[in-house]
Amino acid sequence: MRNFTSVHDVKDPVSLIREGISLKINPWGNVHLGKNKTLGLIFLNPSLRTRLSSQKAGQLLGMNTIVMNMDKEGWALEWTDGAIMNTNKTEHIKDAAMVLSLYCDIIGMRCFPTLTDREADYSEHVMKQLIKYSTVPVVSLESAILHPLQSLADGMSIFEKWNKSKKPKVVLTWAPHVKALPQAVSNSFSEWMQAIDVDFVITHPKGYELAPSFTKEVQIKYEQEEALKGADFVYVKNWSAYEPYGQMPPVEKDWLLSEKKMKVTNGAYIMHCLPVRRNVELPDELLDGKRNLTPLQAENRLYAATVVLKRILENTKS
Ligand code: CP
């Protein structure tokens, strides 16, 4: 694996999930791999989990890690080739990526979508420009439309909790929110669930259909209660509409999950990528309950980042 930007960069997602889980037995067991190597983490947007788990993952592999909040500390970047840079953009990604590649052996970048320009967001223009001009491997720390490190950690969490022979039923349910959020976590979760052996259902209000390229053959149900029946894992996430892009069409029914609604599930675990707005996206009664899987998901973010960096280091070993 050279770059890690989606499930499609991974030959065998199940093997990556299993290796990620296995790293927990001896977290410092690969500290020799990244000796004298530098991990550069570039954030164009805020983060808690991704930033700290990636930084610590680098440490577990013996790497030096350097972090830059590009949005606040760096020059404003121009991403378009051939641009006449006579506005507020100071540095072109072509030059910035060249410099980053001189200082770093692996570059991670977080770049959220515009939520106004669907074509640009769904072309992954920003992430692709970094990959184009970087001479070292690139890891997505969440792009405009995907969050593969989160989905890898989610897959690990499901595998750790599910040791039965039958496939688990995994439901991704839309949740309310106060502002328009990206579709990245949901797109990515859908891709990864289709790549592993689970019975996967998405439920959301009409008007919140995800991009067809990410849902393909997935069962979509507009009745939340119907979708939740017999679920083993319920992944809760808000996303804004794909059409009209980035908007929040009005929703009539109550989509906030509750203990009562969960009664039709198979005692399902509750999942969320965090950060979560309590009592808007998920109620305290579920977040403070025994079936809350978010601490395990957050823990697995560390081993997801570690296994991805480990594979890249092994692949680029000289
Ligand atoms: N889940 C997640 O990516 O968290 P952060 O935005 O805090 O990194």
Query: pLDDT tens-digit profile of 37-69?
Result: 999 999 999 999 999 999 999 999 999 999 999
The answer, yes or no, to whether residue 317 has pLDDT greater than 90, is no
Domains and CATH numbers, the chain: 7-146+300-316 (3.40.50.1370), 150-297 (3.40.50.1370)
**DSSP H stretches of helix in the chain:** 13-22, 49-60, 70-73, 93-103, 118-122, 125-133, 148-161, 184-195, 212-215, 224-228, 259-262, 284-287, 294-316
**pLDDT score for 235:** 98
Above 70 in pLDDT, residue 129? yes
What is the structure's pLDDT at 95? 98
* Ligand 1 centre distance from Cα of residue 94 (Å): 27
What pLDDT does residue 71 have? 85
Query: What's the pLDDT band for 104 if we cut at 50, 70, 90?
Result: very high
Q: How far is the CA of 282 from the centre of ligand 1 (A)?
A: 17
Q: Residue 216 corresponds to which tokens in the numbers above?
A: 């393909």
Q: Determine if ligand 1 sits within 6 Å of the CB of residue 48.
A: yes
How many angstroms separate the CA atoms of 47 and 38, rounded?
Answer: 20
Atom of ligand 1 nearest to the CA of 274: 1
Q: Is 150 touching ligand 1 by the criterion CB < 6 Å?
A: yes
Query: What number is the average pLDDT over the span 163-174?
Result: 93
Q: What are the residues facing 66 on neighbouring strands? A: 40
CA angle 5, 7, 9 (to 5 degrees): 60
Q: Given this model, what pLDDT does residue 197 score?
A: 86
Q: Using alpha carbons, list the distances in angstroms from residue 91 to 67, 87, 88, 110.
A: 18, 11, 10, 18
Q: How far apart are CA 207 and CA 204, in angstroms?
A: 8
The CB of 300 under 6 Å from ligand 1? The reply is no
Residue 127 reports pLDDT greater than 80: yes
Compute, in angstroms, the gap from residue 318 CA to the centroid of ligand 1: 33
**Does 47 contact ligand 1 (Cβ within 6 A)?**
yes
Does the C-beta of 274 come closer than 6 Å to ligand 1? Answer: yes
Quick one: angle between helices 148-161 and 13-22, nearest 10?
A: 70
Residue 318 pLDDT > 70: no
- Mean per-residue pLDDT, 277-301: 98
